[in-house]
Structure 1
Amino acid sequence: MTRALILLIGLPIALVRVGWPLPQPVPLSQGQLVELFQMPMTGTRLLKLAACVGWVIWLILLYAAAVEIGGRLSNTRLPRLQLPAPLQLAAAGLVGATALPAAAVASPGHQSVAVATATPNVSTTPPVKIVKGRADQTVTFVVRGQRYHAIVRKRDTLSKIAKLWLGDANRWPEICALNRHRHFERVGGTLRDCDLIYPGWDLRLPHDAVAPPGARMAGASTTRPSPPAVVPAPITPAQPSPASSTPPTNTHEQADQTGVTLPDGSWIPWALAASLTAAAAMIWLQRRRRYVPGDPVDDDLPQPIRQIRRQVLSLPRVEEPAEDAHAPGAAPIEVAPRASGTGLVGEGAYAAARAAIVAALASDAATNAQHRSEVLIDGATHSLLFEGEDANAQLPQLRVVENTEQALTAMETELLRRSRLLDEQSAGIADVPQEKASGTAVVTALLLVMQAPSEGAALRTRACASLGVELNVSTLLVGEWVHGTTLHIGVDGHVTDGAAGMDPARPDRLAVMSLDAAVAAMVALREAQTGESPSPTPGHPRSQTPRIHHSSTTVHEPSIAKAQLRMLGAVEIPDASRPVRAKALELAVLLACHPDGLSTRDIGEHLEPDARLSQSDQRVHTNASNLRLALARPGFDGKHYLIKTGGRYRLNPATVDVDLWKFYELVSAAKRSDGEARVALLREAVDLSHGPLAGDHAYDWIMPHRESARRSLIDVHVMLAELLLTADPDGASDVLTDSIAIDPYNEELYRRAMRARHGLGDADGVRQLLRALQANLRDLDAEPTPETQALVAQLLQDRKR
């Protein structure tokens, strides 16, 4: 401040003592100016010239100070000159020293703060406004990736925010440092002066910040009307405790704007959740590929995968993470490579290590096997993390060695191999995958996981970690790592090390996965990548999806006109009495898949998984009412069509014709018949289908029912083809070709169709079927099985004879 006063007051005094700096008379004409510049440069002239420059600097400084004072007193942003940093800082410091005591008096009760360039322990300077505008404005605060909305008044200060959120007003410079020079793409603008912050910006706060009473979590619903306080609503906790007054939601999994929290406390970011959801889709394709007509129905997905998939599908417009890679909540889904490795300690260390392994294995899990990441882990660490629950979770790219010594030896061998491979590629010798854009060689990512080694192996481990950074290798150590970085992980994945929030290279939160969630994810990834059916794991029972059957208790309404529900293909209610809500139509499909009916709560679990119980029940009743009105025929009450008995909603089979139900009735009748009657019933069942169950609707609960219907339809085609094979071989071949259109990934259908073509003497047809199978299996990154290839060779060889 003293220097600023010297510049503003002392500078003009000194310049006055120099005297009038311009020549007498003042040169105005061109000739006088030319003559002036041609005069010899003397010491007196240099002093006069310096005085002219000094007066210009003083005028600029005076203007800058006036802008600072006027802007802060009038709460407006006046036009500013683009000054050099020393002059701008001097002007700001001068304002803090001289001009704002009146502002401090005008806003009593506000903790005073200094500008962003002051030292952290200064707490006696006047307040600095942070919100432009006259009315109160909403500002978003980001804590560990979670966003909170709060009302900030126009004369609030950074120190007041630090007091409310951090418990210490003197910590305001930390907030300034975390946000300075950030550009806010959503609303525009860059934070250059921490004394002016605009509505719509999201301010990062240190990781230990705690939301004050009244801060509203972004995306959370409130339980009561907004009070007339500073902020509109209380915080809704992510997982309500038994004592919380917040009603629980239907499901226990929770989603925030950075990831998904499962009932067991696991938390994974959206990137990993999306990878596991893609793996879930691949699982269904793999199951379709290996299905043999007549086999039992496969199980549904593991429960943790269903919960993750539900969140990804139900929240398609989740807010993106913050603007840059170091933003809170934008932590990578796996631990980034560090020059000396990363150690994990704390309550969440094991869970974070498990999640890092899953994240590495899930990289490009669905396709692109050539670029899948690999994991190297020693047996002791594997047992420590997974407790032996790995019988069905071994993936091709997961390598478990016996001990730490073997792990380091394997790592050193791998580092040498990678180095040699890249050298050969640069010399044009080796065929290494390349990035299309740059043409540079690509080596798959490798994650080494082990316990923090003893002193004897520490330097060797550090050397491997250091060399691996340039070769796409990460080293993760469970335990304190004295030769590198150690992160203290909380049970929810937050990095609780006090310095983590100030170090942009450290993540604020890492994914954490419980034992059950990690094992389920690895089992799912294995099935998605290899196509092998997992066997039941002790303690993890499977849930079977039963075939559709009708309840023995049917409400007979013989005199009532029937309604139609079509769902083998596009979902529709022909001649609906009134427009049908989307959720009401989904309710119709759900009840058709459960002919015995469902309770209000069960329906809510399927249709309204994220609503509170009271809201869910009300929405179910509303949609049921809409469905009744749509199904009702003229002159009849809708309660005859959608009935509720024993607390369960059901579609009345006496008044509602559902094509899915009719399909299963025809199949059941065909199995009890023979001869032409059986063929006719099977043909009628085939004609009912016009596409997958529920068409292209992506209901998060539909897949087991859709696949069950698909397999039943395949069974019908195969039964019909077997009946026609002797009397009508051409017809049998056509039926099998139609079945391939229903499921182009099922190898058994291709083999049956190949035999039918061979029986017709159509060798080209056999080759065409093989080419079609190969093309379709590329979607699964797979090739026809040896069984299929051997069959093709045999059929073509028989034809040559």
Structure 2
Amino acid sequence: MRWPRQVMSLLFVLLLLTGPPAVLVFVVGPPVHGWPDGQQVRAWVQQPLTEQTVVAGLTIAAWLVWLLLAYTVTVRVLARLRAGAAWLRRMPLPTPLQATASGMAGAAVFTVAANTATTTPPQPALPVAAGTLDAPADPADLDPYGSVRGDDGIAVSGGWLPREVADQIAAAAALVWLRRRLAYQPHPPGPPAREDRDLVPLPATACAVQAALTNHPPPADTGEGPPVGMPALVSGLPATGVGLSGPGAAAAARGLLVTALLAGRQHSAVSLVVTHTALARLLGPSAEALQRHLPRLTVVSGLDEAVHVLESPTPSDGSHGRDEPQPGTSAAVLIIEEPPTDAADRLAASPAASAVVVVALGGWPARTTWQVDTTGHTRDPHRPGWAGPRLCVLDAIAALDLLTVIAHTNPPAPTPPAPNPSPPVVRSSGWRVPRQATGHDPLRRPDAPGRPLQLRVLGDPKLIADGQPVTIRRTAAMQALVFLAAHPDGADNRQLVDALWPGLPRHTLTNRLYTTLSTLRGAVRAACGLAVIDHTDDRYRLNPAHLDVDLWRFHTAVQHAATALTEPATAWQTVIDAYPGDLAAGRAWPWLDPIREATRRHVIDAHVALAAAAPDPHHALTVLQHGLLVDPYNADVHVRAMNALAALGDHQAVDDLHDTYTRRLGEAGLHISDEVRDTAARLSSATVPGR
């Protein structure tokens, strides 16, 4: 229990504040009795060190020490009071509705009979911090459209996403990195600091969603839910069309953009049609650059063109080999800026009307109108007391972040349109692949036999002291340790907070960061009595004098391989041997992806270079097969392995490797590249004469 220790501390402080003054006043007395006259001053100048002057000096020094102590205690007390006052100001107070409901419930407790059961209405959810997971609602608490009334989603700095949408965003973000791994073209080994353009981190909103879901895996699929092709939030919209009004209308329309496009990735039957003016209103000038890379999005000039597009068999291109929609399962969402008048009748008479949900940005007197607040909650002014589904709401920045991620999950078009053939550049959170330790850094030598601590971050991260792993109880503390190992130049408070808790307000996380680092320091100090984290120049760094980090030794080997003039094959093999596994394997921290992929690419480069210099095809094949274990998704390594197998005459193995690779990509939601497909067809056993 902490209160006895706190009471003793308070008594000790009170004793320090009251004891010395009492002793000085009642035992020693005042240091001087009035101002000295001229004769006393002359006597003091002639003989300054007398018993009386020494006692007076010591008494004055004691009073000064006590005043310094009293000042320190006063400052600490005032700081605690200010912090408490700030906490009280931030503490959410009950709304009038909550206060009334609480009062009624309390009155009912004292007035009803003992055997009477009372049920209080559910309280409105309190705001949550950005990048956090809301508590799931009771599945039985459903509205007439089948949507859950409670909060079950992710709050980010730019809005709120339902859990279903957040899970799909996390899957899309993972798919972006898998696609980058697939498309990487190995090149001769170079220095540790890579400049690959596709190693830019994902946007901040996507990272916040990933971080919020790290410790909350998606629930098991029970086979229940909305019809195929329409996610819950789309199927919950009125089939006759809906107008969105209120302060959250535009944010809800942006959320609907993201929701429908994510549904289109999963189901080829779902498409999104939006007018040019509505898209510009929602996303601003960035909309035009993005729309080229969102194949399930069709932008039309007006409602007439929208009707023509919706009546066509394939309203938008971009299925990319997915199954064709089955009859009766196709669905489309049409977003327009203003409610249609006479055009609504033409749309209703269209053959595609039964599969189209029209959403208008504004009130729609002829149809249903939902008022949307800034948190996504909806209500119908014509149905008092009815609470509609909570919609995904996003501001323009968050929506562009998520749409950029969705755009990067699509394979490049065979003939990209001019003048912007490349996908839009991902808006980086500010981090680049850091400068790594090299052999020229005197502080980070490759071998450190005298260092008592070993930090292993390649593979399962662990800190080892005297051969035993150090227990680090906080997950954030281990993450901070790995982050500092990946950034040997150090990081300041802002960079650490953004990496460990992306999407959360920085000013609310200072104490959490200090607690995390204090826990880490305490665990290391208890294990070996050393301090492994230095804090100088407002930056945190790992102390290389006390710590041996395998990642630093790996990059020393990479630097040596890039500059080796003799025996390069030995240097490349050293790089391969220094890589036991992925950086922080099994961890899903969003900041890891760029650095993890850069580290993996160094190893792939070493495998390809070593295979190219192999003295015989058997050795080359062995090296390439090991490279496939390092990255089983890279297309270039698969092509090289197929050529090596064909050179050895094992054409059946080429077919088996192609089939395995195709199946692996299909399970991940990817499609095999034309280069791999053509190579397999050229080297297949079916094309070999006599087979």
Common topology (TM > 0.5):
yes
Q: Indicate if the aligned counterparts of 1:643 and 1:649 stay in contact, CA closer than 8 A.
A: yes
Shift in Å, 1:736: 0.9
Task: Give me the whole-angstrom Cα distance separating, in 1, the residues matched to 2:347 and 2:109.
Answer: 45
Q: 1:370 to 1:412 in 2, by over 3 A?
A: closer
**Which residue, out of 701, 718, 733, partners 2:591?**
701
Q: Indicate if the aligned counterparts of 1:376 and 1:449 stay in contact, CA closer than 8 A.
A: yes
Q: How does 1:339-354 map to 2 (within 5 A)?
A: 339-354=239-254
Q: 1:150 to 1:734 in 2, by over 3 A?
A: farther
**Which residue, out of 611, 621, 626, partners 1:733?**
621
Q: 1:147 to 1:671 in 2, by over 3 A?
A: farther
Q: 1:779 to 1:620 in 2, by over 3 A?
A: same
Name the SS for the 1:203 alignment partner. coil
Shift in Å, 1:385: 2.6
Q: Where does structure 1 differ by over 6 angstroms across 4 or more consecutive aligned residues?
A: 146-154, 431-434, 531-534, 555-559
Matched, 1:662 2:662: no
Q: How does 1:299-338 map to 2 (within 5 A)?
A: 299-314=200-215, 332-334=232-234, 336-338=236-238
Shift in Å, 1:203: 1.8
**Which residue, out of 267, 289, 295, partners 1:396?**
295
Matched, 1:481 2:381: no
Which entry has the higher C-alpha Rg, 1 or 2? 1
Name the SS for the 2:233 alignment partner. coil
Matched, 1:554 2:505: no
Q: Indicate if the aligned counterparts of 1:577 and 1:630 stay in contact, CA closer than 8 A.
A: no
Matched, 1:443 2:329: yes
Q: How does 1:716-731 map to 2 (within 5 A)?
A: 716-724=606-614, 727-731=615-619
Q: Indicate if the aligned counterparts of 2:453 and 2:546 stay in contact, CA closer than 8 A.
A: yes
Matched, 1:156 2:156: no
Which ranges in structure 1 are unaligned for 5 or more consecutive residues? Answer: 1-140, 161-192, 206-210, 212-216, 219-236, 240-251, 319-323, 326-330, 418-430, 435-440
Shift in Å, 1:709: 1.7
Question: Counterpart amino acid of 2:520?
Answer: A
Name the SS for the 1:502 alignment partner. coil
Name the SS for the 2:545 alignment partner. coil
Task: Give me the whole-angstrom Cα distance separating, in 2, the residues matched to 1:559 and 1:688.
Answer: 17
Task: Give me the whole-angstrom Cα distance separating, in 1, the residues matched to 2:603 and 2:448.
Answer: 30
- Corresponding residue of 2:11: none
Q: What is the TM-score of this pair, normalised by structure 2? A: 0.68
Matched, 1:380 2:380: no
Q: 1:708 to 1:377 in 2, by over 3 A?
A: same
Q: Indicate if the aligned counterparts of 2:642 and 2:654 stay in contact, CA closer than 8 A.
A: yes
Q: What per-residue deviation string (whole Å, max 9, x for no partner) do you get for residues 315-334 of structure 1?
A: 5699xxxxx99xxxxx9533
- Corresponding residue of 1:688: 578
Q: Indicate if the aligned counterparts of 2:463 and 2:469 stay in contact, CA closer than 8 A.
A: no
Name the SS for the 2:603 alignment partner. helix
Shift in Å, 1:452: 3.4
- Corresponding residue of 1:585: 478
Name the SS for the 1:449 alignment partner. strand
Name the SS for the 2:359 alignment partner. strand
Matched, 1:276 2:169: yes
Shift in Å, 1:374: 0.9
Shift in Å, 1:562: 3.6
Question: Counterpart amino acid of 1:156?
Answer: A
**Which residue, out of 598, 617, 634, partners 1:746?**
634
Task: Give me the whole-angstrom Cα distance separating, in 2, the residues matched to 1:332 and 1:399.
Answer: 22
Identical positions, percent: 27
Shift in Å, 1:342: 0.7
- Corresponding residue of 1:455: 341
Q: 1:521 to 1:555 in 2, by over 3 A?
A: closer
Equivalent residues, number? 539
**Which residue, out of 508, 519, 523, partners 1:623?**
519
Task: Give me the whole-angstrom Cα distance separating, in 2, the residues matched to 1:317 and 1:755.
Answer: 41
- Corresponding residue of 1:521: 402
Q: Indicate if the aligned counterparts of 1:739 and 1:749 stay in contact, CA closer than 8 A.
A: yes
Q: 1:542 to 1:672 in 2, by over 3 A?
A: same
Q: What per-residue deviation string (whole Å, max 9, x for no partner) do you get for residues 54-91 of structure 1?
A: xxxxxxxxxxxxxxxxxxxxxxxxxxxxxxxxxxxxxx
Q: Indicate if the aligned counterparts of 2:472 and 2:520 stay in contact, CA closer than 8 A.
A: no
Q: 1:647 to 1:484 in 2, by over 3 A?
A: same
**Which residue, out of 499, 511, 517, partners 2:392?**
511
Q: What is the TM-score of this pair, normalised by structure 1? A: 0.59
Q: How does 1:355-370 map to 2 (within 5 A)?
A: 355-363=255-263, 365=265, 368-370=266-268
Question: Counterpart amino acid of 2:271?
Answer: E
Question: Counterpart amino acid of 2:623?
Answer: V
Q: CA RMSD in A?
A: 4.2
Q: How does 1:105-504 map to 2 (within 5 A)?
A: 156-157=107-108, 196-198=116-118, 203-204=121-122, 238=128, 253=131, 255-257=133-135, 258=151, 259-264=153-158, 266-294=159-187, 296-314=197-215, 332-334=232-234, 336-363=236-263, 365=265, 368-370=266-268, 373-390=270-287, 391-393=289-291, 394-413=293-312, 443-464=329-350, 468-469=353-354, 472-495=355-378, 497-499=380-382, 502-503=385-386
Q: 1:605 to 1:298 in 2, by over 3 A?
A: closer
- Corresponding residue of 2:655: 767
Q: 1:385 to 1:698 in 2, by over 3 A?
A: closer
Task: Give me the whole-angstrom Cα distance separating, in 2, the residues matched to 1:304 and 1:586.
Answer: 20
Shift in Å, 1:576: 3.8
- Corresponding residue of 1:594: 487
Task: Give me the whole-angstrom Cα distance separating, in 1, the residues matched to 2:599 and 2:98.
Answer: 43
| More relative contact order, 1 or 2 (CA 8 Å, 6+ apart) | 2
Q: What per-residue deviation string (whole Å, max 9, x for no partner) do you get for residues 409-443 of structure 1?
A: 333456999xxxxxxxxxxxxx9767xxxxxx651
Shift in Å, 1:712: 1.8
Shift in Å, 1:592: 0.7
Task: Give me the whole-angstrom Cα distance separating, in 1, the residues matched to 2:485 and 2:470.
Answer: 20
Q: Indicate if the aligned counterparts of 2:248 and 2:374 stay in contact, CA closer than 8 A.
A: yes
